[in-house]
Structure 1
Amino acid sequence: MSDTATFVDDRPALDRRSYLKVAAGAAVLSAVGVGSAAAEEDYDVIEVSAGDTYTVQLGDGDTLENTLIDISADGAQYQITATGSDWQIRNVGVSGVWDGHEKAEPISVSVPDAGSSARIENLYLGDGAHDDTYPGATGIFVSPGHAGVLEIDRVNIQGYPDNAIYGSGPGNPSNHSTQGAGGEVHITNSFAADCRAGGFRIGTNGSYAENCVAVGCDRNFWGFYEETEVIDCDFSDAEMGDIGTGDGHWGENASVVVTDTRFETSVEHSGSVVGESADDVDRSEPEDVDGVPLTAEEAAAGTASDPTDSDDDGDQSDQEEPADEGETPDDSDDQTDDEADERDDESDETAPDDDGEREGRMNFQTILRVLFS
């Protein structure tokens, strides 16, 4: 059984660009409190030892930032669980391929309060997983208990066998074994590629993807329930359909409203796509989306450009936008609807109960200092 510990201390924060090893059992860090923003190119490196798991638990107001998690060792894994309001995961990169074959949600998040929000930004999960068959690991899993607003901005997720962003659970209907809490998921300026089941999968009114690119997933965008929207996106080369709607198992119709979006094919399990492709697909690479981190190091350092920081009159990104057209293969239903629904059956088992678990507030880097000094 892995050792766990929660540390509270007020000593100065750990020096930046430290190399830390997680060994002799998993380290559970309850990162509470937000310190001053780290300078660009300064970040912590967590080297997870073979067979170990690096675990972080975030609650109200907590931040995990400027961290590179190295899981290149055999069987090294990570588990980031965020449950609460106003938490943030930003400038985080995972280096190394996920080599597990079981169902897993290495990043599991929710905002249980309908009046609150949380944010994930500048995240790199581009090294993917060895196993490309369903079921397996999910890039970002949004719990059915999510009731607030989750903002996901500038993420790069590739090669996961169970969706890049699995955000449809909050839309689970009342006849579902785990009814959803109806929270919104907003995905912006992000890239997904070669993920099974779906790339960007959401399913509640008010949820959308904007200025995103997805390539080669089973369904690049999947509006699973209710009415979702795609705005100024490019989807191509899907195995089943660039835009998918609904599912056949729960009998819930879904609609995807298309605005200024370019795509090639669609697959309607139930419901419909509202609108047509605006033009030929002209973006198919992560470089085509301003601000998306291209490496784990770039994400951890926070050096990728933020599209919201650019002037209205010009493009300040130093990345070019090459055009590319993908050939979409014939539709094939390699994954049954029952398989696709299995993850929405999952409850908030992986989410910690934050009540009474913390006795103090401290900076995340301070926790690392206590743990590894």
Structure 2
Amino acid sequence: MAQNPRTSETDTTPTTGRSDGLSRRNYVRSVAAAAAAVTSLGAAGTVAAQGDYEVIEAAGQSLTVADGETWENKLIDMTTGGDISITTQGSDWTIRNIGFKGKNVSGAGTATFAISDTGGSSTVENVYLGDGSDGRNGRSTGHGQTAFWVDPKHSGHVDLRNVNIQGFADNAVYGSSPGSNGGGTIHIDSCFAANCRVSHFRLATEGSKVTNSSVLVDEEGYEGRGIWAWAPGTIEIEDCQISMNGNHTAVVAGANGQGTDVVLRNTDYDQAAGISETAGSTVRLEGDSGTDPLAFIPAGTPTSPEEAATGGN
């Protein structure tokens, strides 16, 4: 799987860079109160036992989680200044209990995870990417660091549960690519994304949805869209809190001159940031939806690298 051929989906609206101010990330955390199953395609890095998990020092590795495999209980040490990328192959794979410690300052502009399922169902759960990345673009990609990128050939289903993504210079979950190719679905459930650039949750295919999750953009970090729906849709958003504090747009439907449909159900969004319907798109509000959001880290979602690596949430 090629890493991040993202130029096929251009952004229709530029986003701002980083806003300055007092960090709330530690506050949010407190309120919310090697690689044995992979094949290394690059430098091995250092792998060390640490209680119930392994520590892997980021050193430019490219790791693969293959068909039917489980990759779990790892703490990735990003304080080395190096990059690491994890790619999935085939179907019925599982990634769980993975914590990234330290900001990605490699400037590689890759995706930390490049995922797809080829016709079955796979799972990502209990992952901490809350330390973010710096704002540099990779020289070869022209993009900043992405947390999760979904390959256009994705044709199956992937569940993302209890994932914490904060402060990434590109999308938190870039899941719109299969909309123009493989048609696979993504279900983001009980996840938290904050202060990322471009967008936080980005989906395109019928059956893809965001549930029981929160998006926060506050005074610290990048100011990307809350949830961005691409064609063909329909995209479902249910029981979510989208707190933008007036930054960018809470829900955007449509991109690149192509419309889509969104169903927003029992969800609160920031009225000042609002909803955007472009290229004939529609956003239909159902149930008890309102404009008084309170973003929070869902129960069971890790708030530190160590908590994720041990599965102790």
User: TM exceeds 0.5?
Assistant: yes
State TM-score, norm by structure 1. 0.65
**1:123 alignment counterpart:** 127
In structure 2, do the counterparts of structure 1 residues 132 and 228 end up closer, same or farther at CA, with 3 Å as the change threshold?
A: farther
Please give the secondary structure, in 1, of the residue aligned with 2:110: coil
Q: Measure, in 1, the Cα distance between the counterparts of 2:209 and 2:292.
A: 19
Unaligned runs of 5+ in 2: 1-33, 37-41, 46-50, 218-222
Please give the secondary structure, in 2, of the residue aligned with 1:129: coil
Higher normalized strand content (fraction of residues): 2
Question: Is 2:164 the partner of 1:156?
Answer: yes
**1:236 alignment counterpart:** 243
**2:289 alignment counterpart:** 278
Question: Is 2:310 the partner of 1:293?
Answer: no
Q: Write the deviation string for residues 52-94 of structure 1: whole angstroms up to 9, x where unpaired.
A: 22332011111110000001013x1111000211100000001
**Native 8 Å contact 1:187 1:208 kept in 2:** yes
**Native 8 Å contact 1:262 1:280 kept in 2:** yes
**Native 8 Å contact 2:134 2:169 kept in 1:** no
**Native 8 Å contact 1:19 1:47 kept in 2:** no
Q: Measure, in 1, the Cα distance between the counterparts of 2:65 and 2:299.
A: 28
**1:37 alignment counterpart:** none
Q: Measure, in 1, the Cα distance between the counterparts of 2:152 and 2:187.
A: 15
Please give the secondary structure, in 2, of the residue aligned with 1:279: coil
State how 1:63-142 maps to structure 2 within 5 Å.
63-74=70-81, 76-113=82-119, 116-131=120-135, 135-142=143-150
- Shift in Å, 1:268: 2.3
Please give the secondary structure, in 1, of the residue aligned with 2:79: coil
Please give the secondary structure, in 2, of the residue aligned with 1:298: helix
Q: Measure, in 2, the Cα distance between the counterparts of 1:194 and 1:187.
A: 17
Please give the secondary structure, in 1, of the residue aligned with 2:145: coil
**1:26 alignment counterpart:** 43
Q: Measure, in 2, the Cα distance between the counterparts of 1:85 and 1:188.
A: 20
In structure 2, do the counterparts of structure 1 residues 166 and 45 end up closer, same or farther at CA, with 3 Å as the change threshold?
A: same
State TM-score, norm by structure 2. 0.77
**Native 8 Å contact 1:240 1:267 kept in 2:** no
Question: Is 2:65 the partner of 1:58?
Answer: yes
How much is the aligned-residue C-alpha RMSD, in angstroms?
2.4
- Count residues with an aligned counterpart: 256
Q: Measure, in 1, the Cα distance between the counterparts of 2:106 and 2:203.
A: 25
Unaligned runs of 5+ in 1: 1-17, 29-40, 173-179, 305-373
- Shift in Å, 1:280: 4.0
**2:312 alignment counterpart:** 303
Question: Is 2:259 the partner of 1:253?
Answer: yes
- Shift in Å, 1:206: 0.2
- Shift in Å, 1:283: 2.6
Q: Measure, in 2, the Cα distance between the counterparts of 1:222 and 1:83.
A: 26
Q: Measure, in 2, the Cα distance between the counterparts of 1:207 and 1:283.
A: 23
Q: Measure, in 2, the Cα distance between the counterparts of 1:118 and 1:213.
A: 22
Q: Write the deviation string for residues 285-328 of structure 1: whole angstroms up to 9, x where unpaired.
A: 32xx1111000100001011xxxxxxxxxxxxxxxxxxxxxxxx
- Shift in Å, 1:132: 7.0
Q: Measure, in 1, the Cα distance between the counterparts of 2:61 and 2:174.
A: 22
- Shift in Å, 1:100: 3.0
Question: Is 2:149 the partner of 1:144?
Answer: no
**1:194 alignment counterpart:** 195
The share of aligned pairs that are identical, in percent, is 36
